[in-house]
Amino acid sequence: MESSGGEIEAKLQVRPVLKDGTVPKGMEVGFFFRSDLLEVVACDNWGRAGYVVTPWSGSGHGYSCQMEGVARKAKLVVSDEMAAHAGELQDRINERIKRAEEAAQERKREEVEQKRLQGEAERKQIQKEKKQQRLQEEAVRKRRQQEEAERARKEQLDKKKEELSDKILSAMSDWQLREAKEHNLPPLELVDLGNGVYIPMVFIPEGEFWKRNAVLPFKKFDRCVKVDQPFYMGAFQVTNEQWQSVMGNVPSEFKGSQHPVEQVSHNDACDFINHLNERTGKVFTLPNEDQWEYSCRARSRSRYCFGDSKAELDNYCWYYENSERSTHPVGLKYPNPWGLFDMHGNVWEWCDDDIGACLRRVYRGGNWNISANYCRSAFRYSGSPDRRSSLLGFRLLMTI
């Protein structure tokens, strides 16, 4: 090899280098070729490196190279064998470049797909979060609506309870209220059956009354009857609503919720009471005749709790003259002086007494299909304990 600028006679080994400075793997060759894409690094026979081969300005396969430490150019002679393999090397490099470009494009596509999938996942997550938020907002809205409805229902029930209490308490006598206070008992108990259904029970003090002949209304009083223990009496006859709340059905011919329950036998009434006692933990019974008449008279000695005049009966009960052949909602007429309603009409009321060996059960009061003369406080009737009629219902007594 010459150092003075002549032809370099030494046999060279070359290694292709891409213009970005990287060297393709497995591309070390024993020749080089002209290419605008490549630079060639050459080593001479003595192992001296550092030749950067650039295209020669002349013709043929000549290249110029700048030797390390030499400030002038020398001509590198390329052998025919090396030139013959230039095309093959070019194809191999082009293939490598193509594969590298394809790999880069594949990586780019993967990156784009990954971004797309990531974006899709993010959108789905956002949609999921929005859906959860909507569901939460809907749940909150429904809960608020339920709370508002429950609050409105509670206010309505409280109002109903207050109105019911005021109606009954205002009808009770001062003596009755004083007696309740002396016994340290509430004058009125509202037995709660749930869902706004109450059974109002009125305090009845112990006392006495004169019992009149049931058949002969103009005959003098027979005897004085004492009631030794106070008790609570139902302000109203048992209604369809109360019966359904306990028994789950309505047996009545007249179905209004506040109408008195009828088409119930004495046995049916006792069955209702057993269920009611189990449900409330209280002790309910049917009143006996003395308790019923004592409560009905409310210390009066007249035919009716308000006096003897039939003309006034229309204000106190439903009977043949004003019923239009039907029961009516309880509590629409005037109460007696102790706050008990419909004692003279609407439906007959079963009592707990029987009549001797015949085992017939007594019922008292009047009904919607009977004349005024049979609605008197003293009048009594009886029937088989399994009798059912649209004229027959009952009223509760609660022991203390």
Token pair, residue 376, equals: 């008197």
**Are residue 192 and residue 310 in the same domain, yes or no?**
yes
Which CATH number characterizes residue 372's domain?
A: 3.90.1580.10
Q: What is the DSSP string of 269-320?
A: HHHHHHHHHHHHSS-EEPPPHHHHHHHHHTT--SSBTTBS-GGGGGGT---T
- 296-308 burial string, b = 16+ CB within 10 Å, else e? bbbbbeebbbbee
* Contact in structure between 343 and 336 (CB atoms under 8 Å): yes
10 Å Cβ neighbour count for 151?
10
- What global pTM score does this model have? 0.67
- pLDDT tens per residue, range 253-285: 999 999 999 999 999 999 999 999 999 999 999
Q: What is the dihedral of CA 52, 57, 59, 64, to 10 degrees?
A: -20
- pLDDT tens per residue, range 8-28: 333 333 444 444 444 444 333
Within a domain: residue 349? yes
Within a domain: residue 327? yes
Within a domain: residue 131? no
Q: Total domain count for the chain?
A: 2
Within a domain: residue 184? yes
Which of 84, 111, 129 delimits the end of a domain?
84
Within a domain: residue 101? no
Domain containing 79 equals: 7-84
The pair phi, psi for residue 85, each rounded to 5°, is: -90, 5
The tens-digit pLDDT sequence of the chain (400 residues) is 333 333 333 333 344 444 444 444 433 333 333 333 333 434 333 333 333 444 333 333 333 333 333 323 333 444 455 455 555 666 777 787 888 888 889 999 999 999 999 999 999 999 999 999 999 999 999 999 999 999 998 898 889 899 999 999 999 999 999 999 999 999 999 999 998 999 999 999 999 998 876 554 445 556 889 999 999 999 999 999 999 999 999 999 999 999 999 999 999 999 999 999 999 999 999 999 999 999 999 999 899 999 999 999 999 999 999 999 999 999 999 999 999 999 999 999 999 988 766 789 999 999 999 999 999 999 989 999 999 999 999 999 999 9
Which strands sit side by side in the sheet containing 380-383, from one edge to the other?
A: 380-383, 360-364, 348-355, 392-394
